[in-house]
A and B are shown apart, each in its own frame.
Chain A
Amino acid sequence: MPDVPRPLLPPRRWLRAGLAAVTLTWAGATFAQTEITFWHAMDSAQGTVDALVERFHDEQDEVRVDARYVGSYREAQTKLLAAFGGPDEPDLFQAEIAFFPRLVAEGAVQDLTAEAAALPAAFTEDFVPGLWAYGELDGRRYGLPWNASTPALYLNASALERAGVAPPETWEAFADAADALTTRRARGVVFVGDSWLFEMMVRSLGGALVDDAGRPTLDTPEAREALSLLSDLEARGSLAFFGADETTPAILGFVRTRSLMAFASIANWPDVRRFSVAFDLTAVPVPMREGGRVPLGGAQLVVMRNATPEARAAAWRFWRWLMEPEQIATWVEGSYYLPIRDAARPLLEGFYAEEPGRGAALAQLDRAVPRPRIPAFDAMRGILDDMMERVLRGGRDPGEALADAQARAEALVE
């Protein structure tokens, strides 16, 4: 019998040793991994959020993100308030821009100034002007930009073509267009009484809803002009009004061709586009007066107070990854939100060239300004919604309604 050298370990032991090594490696990886919960309100872009999270997981093993859609912005706010301080509170939360200051004022979110200070200037200066500063309050960094939008004017291009009406660039031209498009089968414009859209009108006319000192300025000549314009159009039958919670029937009216112009966030483009099968759709920047502005919408990502230091670091890492140009490009293509960093724009040239309407919000980005960042503004939105309802549905005088809204807002702030 030939002299066969004996193995160092018998085969069965090699197998055991291998299994043990694999188990230890897996266990090590598991222990080093941090899982964070991320609540967001991106309904139609849910698939894109999930795809980004999946890509993030593929590229690294240390952080796992449990992204959950928790309803609309308002529903997400309600759920967050219910989960405050409890085990269900998320680590990372997408706070709508008007809700964000309230979260900061209530001490519900973590101060990220230290992490932000370590960011290279080339990175922070690459953001759309005003957008990086959006997440700062009283010199401290609490919010991180992600999804930002501006309103746009959606048009039934087919109807405008037949009526010989050009896309309006001023509010005077807008009112004329609404009247010219109105017939017994369609109203010229549908308007949702949402505070953001009213702010859009006031801002574009050169006014503001809150002054630099943080005091409400609801009753201004610009606000009166905006509300009177809407009220007059409604009285002439050229405007269909829907309340702030009636976005769906308003959009339905537009896609049914019962109204031919509509204001909405540019992020609504994919939904409106999908259902606008009966006509050619386009979108243009909102009508503007010289020196006018347009309010930025969207949300800030915030790290909640109860997040552990590990979760906070993991959330920061995830956000930094989201801010890479490739990720921003994927996000914009899936959600139609604005490319918030200049570095992402070259990656999106084809996307915007494909359908000109997609670029309506981008075209007015140089005029975009943040929404008021005072804690009371979250409640002021309700006052504005109510005011529009009273005027455009209840027939109240715009001047009286604005004076009343101003008094209510002042009481709120005090």
Chain B
Amino acid sequence: MNASRARALLLAPALGLLGFAALDAAGRAQGVLTGMTASPALDAAVFALATAVSAQWHHRAWRRGGRAAAWGAALAHVATFPFLAGLLAGVADLTWLGGWGVPGLVRAALGATPANLLATFAVELPLVTLPLGGLAVAGLAASARRGR
């Protein structure tokens, strides 16, 4: 693993945790439910993991790609993050909090959870999530391009 990827692996979870904390605080302040699972620790871990996975996916485009590729990766990160995080949260919820044996809970975890996170990002708290997304992308892209 090169230094650039290692940097991303350290930075991305931190950005994910920052995003989780900001979203949680904004949700509380505005009375919007933002939780993906019943456990805040699990949600925080999912945000960190999803950001790390997304950063690894787009690392190459940010590090070696031109301007168009970098912008494309940034848009892809913003567009796919709610689905990725929601899906990971659903799997984590079923695994740690139970429910794989209940078809209704599996549908809710893998269907409603990503849809809810997307709604939170795009409809309920876009003034919080869009700057957060921008910040995460800027940080990850800058980290990837460092020392090119």
Q: Residues on A close to B: CB < 8 A?
A: 156-159, 161-162, 183-187, 256-258, 277-280
Q: Which of A159, A184, A187, A258 contacts B40 (CB 8 A)?
A: A184
What secondary structure prevails in chain B residues at the interface with A? helix
Residues of B in contact (CB 8 Å), total 23
- 6 further interface pairs, Cβ-Cβ under 8 Å (given A157-B104, A159-B105, A185-B33): A158-B99, A161-B105, A162-B98, A185-B116, A256-B116, A258-B33
Confirm or deny: B107 has a beta carbon within 8 angstroms of a beta carbon on chain A.
Answer: yes
> Distance in Å from the Cβ of A163 to the closest Cβ of chain B?
10
> In the complex, what distance in Å separates the CA atom of A162 from the CA atom of B105?
8
A279:B105 contact, CB within 8 angstroms: yes
> In the complex, what distance in Å separates the CA atom of A158 from the CA atom of B112?
13
> In the complex, what distance in Å separates the CA atom of A187 from the CA atom of B34?
12
Confirm or deny: B128 has a beta carbon within 8 angstroms of a beta carbon on chain A.
Answer: no
Enumerate 10 A-B pairs (CB-CB under 8 Å) in ascending A order: A157-B104, A158-B105, A161-B102, A161-B104, A183-B38, A184-B39, A185-B36, A186-B33, A186-B35, A279-B105
> In the complex, what distance in Å separates the CA atom of A394 from the CA atom of B3?
55
> In the complex, what distance in Å separates the CA atom of A184 from the CA atom of B41?
11
B104:A158 contact, CB within 8 angstroms: yes
> Distance in Å from the Cβ of B112 to the closest Cβ of chain A?
4
Q: Given contacts A162-B99, A162-B102, is CB(A257)–CB(B35) below 8 Å? A: no
Instruction: Identify the 6 closest CB pairs spanning chains A and B, nearest first.
Output: A158-B104, A184-B35, A185-B35, A183-B38, A280-B104, A278-B112
Confirm or deny: B119 has a beta carbon within 8 angstroms of a beta carbon on chain A.
Answer: yes
> Distance in Å from the Cβ of B20 to the closest Cβ of chain A?
12
A280:B103 contact, CB within 8 angstroms: yes
Confirm or deny: B92 has a beta carbon within 8 angstroms of a beta carbon on chain A.
Answer: no
- Chain A residues with CB under 8 A of B116: 185, 256-258
What secondary structure prevails in chain A residues at the interface with B? loop
B35:A183 contact, CB within 8 angstroms: yes
> Distance in Å from the Cβ of B79 to the closest Cβ of chain A?
20
- Chain B residues with CB under 8 A of A185: 33, 35-38, 116
B111:A277 contact, CB within 8 angstroms: yes
> In the complex, what distance in Å separates the CA atom of A183 from the CA atom of B115?
18
Within residues 113 to 145 of chain B, which ones have a CB less than 8 A from any CB in chain A? 115-116, 119
> In the complex, what distance in Å separates the CA atom of A149 from the CA atom of B97?
38
B108:A279 contact, CB within 8 angstroms: yes
B33:A257 contact, CB within 8 angstroms: no
Q: Select the residue from A183, A184, A256 with max chain B CB neighbours within 10 A.
A: A184
Q: Given contacts A256-B119, A258-B33, A277-B111, is CB(A184)–CB(B104) below 8 Å? A: no
> In the complex, what distance in Å separates the CA atom of A256 from the CA atom of B99?
17
- Chain A residues with CB under 8 A of B33: 184-187, 258
- Chain A residues with CB under 8 A of B108: 158-159, 257, 278-279
- Chain B residues with CB under 8 A of A161: 102, 104-105
- Chain A residues with CB under 8 A of B112: 256-257, 278-279
- Chain A residues with CB under 8 A of B111: 277-278
Closest residue to B38 on the A side, CB-wise? A183
- Chain B residues with CB under 8 A of A183: 35, 38
Q: When each residue 80-109 of chain B gets 1 if its CB lies under 8 Å from chain A and 0 otherwise, what string results?
A: 000000000000000001110011110110
> Distance in Å from the Cβ of A158 to the closest Cβ of chain B?
3
- Chain B residues with CB under 8 A of A280: 103-104
A184:B38 contact, CB within 8 angstroms: yes
> Distance in Å from the Cβ of B104 to the closest Cβ of chain A?
3
- Chain B residues with CB under 8 A of A256: 112, 115-116, 119
> In the complex, what distance in Å separates the CA atom of A401 from the CA atom of B4?
63
> In the complex, what distance in Å separates the CA atom of A360 from the CA atom of B31?
32
> Distance in Å from the Cβ of A310 to the closest Cβ of chain B?
54
> Distance in Å from the Cβ of B94 to the closest Cβ of chain A?
10
> In the complex, what distance in Å separates the CA atom of A393 from the CA atom of B112?
27
> Distance in Å from the Cβ of B87 to the closest Cβ of chain A?
14
> In the complex, what distance in Å separates the CA atom of A279 from the CA atom of B111?
10
> In the complex, what distance in Å separates the CA atom of A311 from the CA atom of B105?
54
> In the complex, what distance in Å separates the CA atom of A368 from the CA atom of B43?
45
> In the complex, what distance in Å separates the CA atom of A62 from the CA atom of B107?
53
Closest residue to B107 on the A side, CB-wise? A278
> Distance in Å from the Cβ of A165 to the closest Cβ of chain B?
14
- Chain A residues with CB under 8 A of B103: 158, 280
Q: Select the residue from B37, B43, B99, B102 with max chain A CB neighbours within 10 A.
A: B102
> In the complex, what distance in Å separates the CA atom of A241 from the CA atom of B39?
24
- Chain A residues with CB under 8 A of B107: 158, 277-279
- Chain B residues with CB under 8 A of A158: 99, 102-105, 107-108
> Distance in Å from the Cβ of A368 to the closest Cβ of chain B?
30
Within residues 54 to 78 of chain B, which ones have a CB less than 8 A from any CB in chain A? none
